[in-house]
Structure 1
Amino acid sequence: MLARTCRDEVLEAAHELAVRSADGSFTAEEVVRLIIGRGSTFAESTIRTHVVSRMCVDAPAHHAVRYPDLTRHGGGRYRLVEMAQRIGTSVAPLTAGTSNTTRGDEEPLPEVPAGSSSVQRQAETAILDGLADLLGYKVIPARLHLAGGEYVDVDGVSHAPPTLVEAWAHQGPPKGGQKHKILADALKLIHVGRELGGHHQLILCFSDEQAARSFQPEARTWYAAALKAHHVDVLVVDLSAEWRERIRIAQQRQFR
């Protein structure tokens, strides 16, 4: 397993703070306090520099190597670039001549594809909150680095107890290639769990019984049997009627 970098710790803290915040923003001081409070070996100044400069796409190019992770939100607050993109906030590109990679082969954060729904992305946070009530502990979005040097973004992660979660906000039975997306998420959970070692609870979390039905253990489908064989739990979290309606409207807009 690769040694954790300061960037790894900042990203973990940023994801946790973003989930707690009403608008997904946080300050550099909040990141510093959270990381130092967990016994980090990095100096406060190093952590702060990562937040306000090295990892911020809006900052002047004072470093030879920079990472496109954070963007300024105003008033001394920051957001994760991936979350800002999901809700349609404009994000400045890195200054020309600087690096936007981490270790040699890591790619920049992907663009949000056309047709993706910020409503469904926001609903995933509500799903994770509901799952936390069900499990009795929180899971937060995280970028995990694996032994081979690759990285993977997981919707929900807990280290104690070890848990990996992929959430799906869709309402109603999955259509067409959507089943493939869900099974790809399941394969991600299985692979990451094995790469990290130990015993992780693997969870595919839905927000609708109809969406989950063909993946549940009692379903007579080959993929339901495969999920059971690989110890992937299929859980359903109830969203409010308001959330369900917002998601349905977003789905109708996407399929016009």
Structure 2
Amino acid sequence: MEDLHSRTWCLYNSETKFLVKELNLLQIRAMLTIIAPEYRSHFWVWKDGYKGWMPIMNCTPALRALSKAQNPLYPPPPPGEDFVYEEDDEDKEPVLMLDDVETSLIDLETVVTKVGFEEGEAETSELPAATEGNAALAYTPQHVYELQEHTGVTQPLDLDHKGFVEKREVVRYKRQYKVIIEIDGNQHVTQTKNLSVKSIQVEGKLPYWIPHQSFQLILERYGEQIKVTCHPYGDTRDQVLMIDVIEEPGIYQKWLLEW
């Protein structure tokens, strides 16, 4: 069980170089909720037992503060002001909960940014993308550590370079929507297994007549349809389709966040 009250945490703002020591987990969570989403990437956490600093958005105990309450609060208008509460579903920011069943499938892409000390320009080189089941990478300006199942820091990775590793995450949602593919008089109907903003995985193998290049399919949910232009991933004819163009991106995002 998580210790909420021990003051064993530290919080660091890499933009302002400001360090706060001897915080407890409840204080870390409270601070995270008031940090604007666009600034959260500047904040790092460390606690007694960790070998290095961790981005706050990689810290599962801290992220629990972003989960939606079972009984949302609707406060009265502030004193002396006209106030109307409205919640726009399309304006909701997707929250990444690493221990959430619906977001348990995560695509990880990793790039290494080498810091150019002499010329002052960074150069970038790609590393192989992590495969499903691999541990995630946490990064600090000094060291790179490996996380086991996103829960804690273990040992440094042996990387012969200066700089840091940047982790990009794409959440996959387990959603079952009808998929209709019609090409040159052929029709294939199946359903999705899971989706992300980058790709769609469908049930079963794709038929032989699916082209290697881009084609259009239809996603259907409760009678509502979205046209998606995509292409098969690689030459294996597996069930993964990489998304090129989504005709209604706003509706597609809403589908991902709703169930």
TM-score normalised by L of structure 1: 0.29
**Richer in strand (by share):** 2
> Which of structures 1 and 2 has the larger relative contact order (alpha carbons within 8 angstroms, sep 6+)?
1
Report which of the two structures shows the higher radius of gyration computed on alpha carbons: 2
TM-score normalised by L of structure 2: 0.29
**Richer in helix (by share):** 1
